[in-house]
Amino acid sequence: TFARNGDLLLAACVNSGIGSAIRAPAVGKTVILRSSDRGRTWRQQGVLEHTGAEGYDPRDGAVEGMYMTKSGRLVLIYYIFQQQISTNDPGSPYYVPGGNNFRFAHLSSRQWDAYSDDKGKTWHYVPMDLSPFKSMYAHACSQIFEEKDGTLVASFRGHLTQEELDS
């Protein structure tokens, strides 16, 4: 996103041990970077330390959709996505041998709005209630838009029921 003076701002997740068999201590963070020369060089602006929730590892946290509001507040979506891939026989009519065939037995998330009033140097969390959705997966679909009245809107993928997830 852009700062008010036109500088580029970037949120880069730095998670320890994701996907590894041996995991480092539960640490994850998002580094906020700033460029004043159209992305040629970058300097660190601040750090968003990842938080966790019971049963959710902060190393699995991710951010999406950083946006500077009209008031100058920097906002982004921070979430932890938890999935369990089904080990059932690939009897689905959508199964493609050798393909990327995930059938989830479990899918859930915890999500927060994170905001900064000092250009990304310090951050605060506000839990997001997605009811009636059971999960949020914001990867690649969470551009944040600001309505005229200041309401912030973002898109995401999710499911409403276990039956919907199973289908």
Q: Which residue has the higher pLDDT, 90 or 43?
A: 43
How far CA 105 is from CA of 56, 82, 85, 88, 94, in Å, comes to 17, 11, 6, 9, 16
Whether the full predicted model's pTM is greater than 0.75, yes or no, is yes
Phi-psi label, residue 124: left if phi above 0, alpha if psi -120 to 50, beta otherwise: beta
Provide the pLDDT for residue 73: 95
Residue pLDDT, tens place only, 120-134? 999 999 999 888 998
Q: How far is CA 155 from the centre of its chain?
A: 12
What value does the mean pLDDT take over residues 157-163? 85
Residue pLDDT, tens place only, 40-51? 999 999 999 888
CB 112 within 8 A of CB 124: no
